[in-house]
Chain A
Amino acid sequence: MADETTAPDIPTQLEALEREAEAQLSACAADADFNEWRTTYLGRSGKVTQLLRGLGGLPKEERPRIGQLANTVKQRLAAALEAQQAQLRRNEHAEALKAEALDVTLPGEPVRAGQLHPITQVLNEILGIFERMGFHVVEGPEVEWDRYNFALLNIPADHPARDMWDTFYVDAEPVSNLGSMLLRTHTSPVQVRVMEETPPPVRIVAPGRVYRNEATDASHEAIFYQIEGLAVDDRINMGDLKGVLTAFARQLFGGKTRVRFNCSYFPFVEPGAEVSISCHVCSGNGCRVCKQTGWLEILGCGIVHPNVLRAVNYDPEKYSGFAFGLGVERIAMLKYGIDDIRYFYGNDIRFLEQFR
Chain B
Amino acid sequence: MRVSLRWLEEYVQVTLSADELAHQLTMAGIEVAQVIQVGDFWKNTFVGKIVDIKPHPNADRLQLVTVDYGQEQQPTLVTGASNIAKEDKVPVALLGAMLIDAYSDTPEIKELKPAVLRGIKSEGMVCSAKELGLGDDHEGILILDPEAPLGEPLQNYLGDTILELDLKPNRSDCLAMVNVAREVSALTGERLRQPVTRQIDTPSQPVVRVDIKEPKLCARYAAGLVTEVTIGPSPRWMQDRLLAAGMRPINNIVDITNYVMLEFGQPLHAFDYDKVAEGRIIVRRARYGEHLTTLDGEERELSAGMLVIADPNGPIALAGVMGGLETEVTADTTRILLEAASFNPTSIRRTRQALALPSEASRRFEQGVPPELAPIARDRAIEFIVEIAGGRARSHAADSYVRPQQRPTIELAEADLARLLGMEIPITTAAEKLRPLGFSYRRQDSRLQVTAPLHRLDVSCAADLVEEVARMVGYDNIPTTLPSGPLPDAAPTPLRTWTDRAKQVMVGAGFAEAITYTLTNTTRMERLLPKGISAELTEDLPREVAEAVLPLHAEPLHLKNPFTSEAGTLRTVTLAGLLETLAHNLRRRTDDVHFFEIAPVFLPVRGKLPEERRLLTAVMGQFRTEQWGARVENSFFTIKGAAEQVLQRFGIAGYDFVPVAHPTFHPYRTAAVTVRHGEAERVVGVVGEINAEVSAAFDVDQRALALVLDLNELVAQSRAIQQFTAPSRHPAVVQDLAIVLDAEIPAERVVEEVRAAGGALLESIDLFDVYQGPQVPEGKRSLAYTLTFRAPDRTLNDAEVTTIRDRIIFKLQVSLNAELR
Q: Tell me the A residues contacting B by CB distance below 8 Å.
A: 106-107, 109-110, 112-117, 119-120, 124, 133-134, 136-139, 141-145, 158-161, 163-164, 168-173, 175, 181, 183, 198, 200-204, 209, 211, 213-215, 222-223, 231, 233-240, 242-244, 246-247, 260-265, 267, 270-273, 303, 305-307, 320, 344-345, 347-350, 352-353
Interface residues of B in 499-550 (CB under 8 A from A): 500, 503, 506-519
Cα distance, A254 to B27, chains bound together (Å): 24
Most buried by B among A114, A134, A141, A240: A114
Q: Which residues on the B side are within 8 Å of A124 (C-beta)? A: 500
Could you give 5 example pairs across A and B, Cβ below 8 Å?
Answer: A114-B509, A143-B557, A243-B482, A352-B513, A353-B512
* Given A139-B496, A344-B515: A264 touches B31 (CB 8 Å cut-off): yes
Q: Establish whether residues B510 and A263, one from each chain, have CB atoms under 8 Å apart when the complex forms.
A: no
**Closest CB-CB distance, A116 to chain B, in whole Å?**
5
Asked if B476 CB lies within 8 Å of chain A CBs, one says: yes
**Is B726 an interface position by the 8 A CB rule?**
no
Contact: B518 with A240, CB < 8 Å?
no
Q: Check A303 against B463 for contact (C-beta < 8 Å).
A: yes
Shortest 4 CB-CB contacts between residues of A and residues of B: A239-B422, A263-B29, A237-B422, A271-B467
Nearest-Cβ distance from residue B442 to partner chain A, whole angstroms? 22
Q: Are B169 and A160 in contact (CB under 8 A)?
A: yes
Q: Which of A113, A213, A244, A305 contacts B507 (CB 8 A)?
A: A113
**Stretch in B104-112, B484-492, B751-759 with 4+ CB within 8 Å of A:** B484-492
**What is the CB-to-nearest-CB distance from A193 to chain B, in angstroms, rounded to a whole number?**
11
Are B584's CB and A347's CB within 8 A?
yes
User: Which residues of chain A come closer than 8 Å to B509, judged between CB atoms?
Assistant: 112, 114
Interface-facing stretch out of B433-441, B562-570, B645-653: B562-570
Separation of A160 and B481 alpha carbons in the complex (Å): 34
Extra 17 A-B pairs, beta carbons < 8 Å, given A114-B507, A171-B560, A263-B475? A113-B510, A114-B506, A114-B512, A137-B496, A160-B368, A171-B558, A213-B561, A235-B483, A237-B419, A238-B421, A238-B470, A238-B478, A242-B478, A242-B480, A271-B463, A271-B470, A347-B584
Given A215-B563, A237-B420, the answer on whether A263 and B470 have CB atoms closer than 8 Å is yes
Q: B331 on the interface (CB 8 Å rule)? A: no
Are the C-beta atoms of A115 and B513 separated by less than 8 Å?
A: yes
Chain B: minimal CB distance from A153 (Å): 14
Q: Specify which of A109, A200, A213, A349 lies most central, judged by the most chain B CB atoms within 10 Å of its CB.
A: A349
| Cβ of B100 to closest chain A Cβ, rounded Å | 23
Q: Pick the contact of B492 from A107, A113, A136, A142 — CB < 8 Å?
A: A136
Q: Does B89 make an interface contact (CB < 8 A)?
A: no
Interface residue? B612 (CB, 8 A): yes
Decide if A143 touches B570 in the complex (CB within 8 Å).
yes
Known contacts A236-B485, A347-B581; decide if A160 and B467 are in contact (CB<8 Å). no
Please, which residues of chain A bring their CB within 8 A of the CB of B368? 160
Chain A residues lying within 8 Å of B476, measured Cβ to Cβ, are 260-261
**A213, B559: Cα distance in complex, Å:** 11
A344 to chain B, nearest CB (A): 7
- Chain A residues with Cβ below 8 Å from B510 are 112-114
* Minimum CB–CB distance for A137 against chain B, Å: 5
Residues A138 and B493 in contact, CB atoms below 8 Å apart: yes
Partner of A116, one of B172, B513, B604: B513
The reply to whether B463 and A347 form a contact with Cβ atoms under 8 Å apart is no
Q: Pick from A110, A267, A307 the residue with the most CB of B within 10 Å.
A: A110
Q: Could you say which residues of chain B place their CB within 8 Å of the CB of A345?
A: 515-517
Q: Determine if B495 and A263 form an interchain contact, defined as CB atoms under 8 angstroms apart.
A: no
The answer, yes or no, to whether B349 is at the interface (CB within 8 Å) is yes
Question: Are B483 and A233 in contact, CB atoms less than 8 angstroms apart?
Answer: yes
The interface size bin for chain B is 35 or more
In the assembly, what is the distance between CA of A237 and CA of B141, in Å? 59
Write the nearest CB–CB distance from A233 to chain B, whole angstroms: 4
Q: A171-B557, A239-B480, A348-B585 are in contact. Are A120 and B513 (CB under 8 A)?
A: yes
- The reply on B350 being an interface residue by CB < 8 A is yes
On whether A143 and B609 interact (CB within 8 A), knowing A238-B478, A347-B515, the answer reads yes
- Do residues A203 and B584 form an inter-chain contact, with CB atoms below 8 A? no
> What's the minimum C-beta distance from A29 to chain B, rounded to whole angstroms?
41
Name the B residues within 8 Å of A181 (CB-CB).
557, 609
User: Cβ of A262 and Cβ of B349 under 8 Å apart?
Assistant: no
**Which of B423, B482, B508, B519 touches A244 (beta carbons < 8 Å)?**
B482
Contact of A235 among B485, B557, B559, B628 (CB under 8 A): B485
Whether A171 lies near B559 (C-beta < 8 A) is: yes
Quick check: is B61 within 8 A (CB to CB) of the other chain?
A: no
Kindly report which residue of chain B lies nearest to residue A201, judged by CB atoms.
B488
Q: Which residues of B contact A (CB under 8 A)?
A: 26-29, 31, 168-172, 345-346, 349-350, 366-368, 418-423, 461-464, 466-467, 470-471, 475-476, 478-488, 490-493, 495-496, 500, 503, 506-519, 557-563, 567, 570, 581, 584-585, 588-589, 593-596, 600, 602, 604, 607, 609-610, 612, 624-628
Q: How far is the CA of A201 from the CA of B484 in the complex (A)?
A: 11
Q: A221 to nearest B CB, angstroms? A: 10
The answer to whether residues A349 and B512 also contact, given A113-B507, A181-B609, A242-B478 and a CB cut-off of 8 A, is yes
CB distance from A103 to the nearest CB of B (A): 12
Which residue from A158, A222, A243, A262 sits with its C-beta under 8 Å from B481?
A243
| Chain B residues within 8 Å of A160, by CB | 169, 172, 345, 349, 366-368
Residues from chain A with Cβ under 8 Å of B491 in the complex: 136
B495 touches A139 (CB 8 A): yes
**Which residues of B have CB within 8 Å of A271?**
420-421, 463, 466-467, 470-471
Which B residue's beta carbon lies closest to that of A121? B513
The complex places the Cα of A344 from the Cα of B514 at a distance, in Å, of 9
Interface contact A141-B420, CB-CB below 8 Å: no
Chain B residues with Cβ below 8 Å from A267 are 170
**What is the CB-to-nearest-CB distance from B425 to chain A, in angstroms, rounded to a whole number?**
11
Q: Quick one: closest A residue to B458, CB to CB?
A: A265
CA distance A218 to B79 in the complex (A): 44
* Of A120, A198, A244, A347, most B-chain CB atoms within 10 Å: A347
Closest beta carbon of chain A to B565's beta carbon, Å: 13
Contact of A201 among B486, B495, B612 (CB under 8 A): B486
B518 adjacent to A209 (CB under 8 Å): yes
User: Residue of A at shortest CB range from B586?
Assistant: A349
Tell me whether A145 and B609 are in contact (CB under 8 A): yes
Expressed in whole angstroms, the minimum distance between the Cβ of B485 and any Cβ of chain A is: 4
Question: Contact at B513–A170, with CB atoms within 8 Å?
Answer: no
Smallest CB gap from A117: residue in B: B513
CB-contact partner of B475 in A183, A243, A262, under 8 A: A262
The CA-CA distance from A267 to B515 in the complex, in Å, is: 31
Quick check: B503 and A120 within 8 Å, CB to CB? yes
Residues of the A chain whose Cβ atoms lie less than 8 Å from the Cβ of B625: 110
> Do A240 and B482 touch (CB < 8 A)?
yes
Question: Is A347 within 8 A of B516, CB to CB?
Answer: yes
Shortest Cβ gap from A169 to chain B (Å): 4
The distance in angstroms between the C-alpha atoms of A169 and B609, with both chains bound, is: 13
Q: Name the contact of A237 in the complex, choosing from B421, B607, B624 (C-beta under 8 A).
A: B421
Q: Please determine whether B29 and A117 come into contact, CB atoms closer than 8 angstroms.
A: no
| Chain A contacts for B367, CB-based, 8 A | 160
Smallest CB separation, B766 vs chain A (Å): 22
Question: Given the complex, which residues of A lie within 8 Å of B493, measured CB to CB?
Answer: 137-139
Cα A172 to Cα B420 with chains together (Å): 41
Who on chain A is nearest to B28 by CB?
A263
Residues of A within 8 A of B612 (CB): 141-143
B500 smallest CB distance to A (angstroms): 7
Q: Which residue from A112, A201, A222 sits with its C-beta under 8 Å from B567? A: A222
Are B607's CB and A170's CB within 8 A? no
Contact in complex: B519, A223 (CB < 8 Å): yes
Tell me the complex Cα distance, A243–B562, Å: 41
Contacts of A133 in B (CB 8 A): 482
Cross-chain contact B596 with A170 (CB below 8 angstroms): no
Asked if A175 contacts B27 (CB within 8 A), the reply is no
Contact residues in A for B518 (Cβ distance below 8 Å): 142, 209, 223
**Which chain A positions have C-beta within 8 A of B514?**
117, 347, 352
Please, which residues of chain B bring their CB within 8 A of the CB of A168? 559-563
Q: Kindly identify which residue among B168, B484, B517, B560 contacts A169, using a CB–CB cutoff of 8 Å.
A: B560
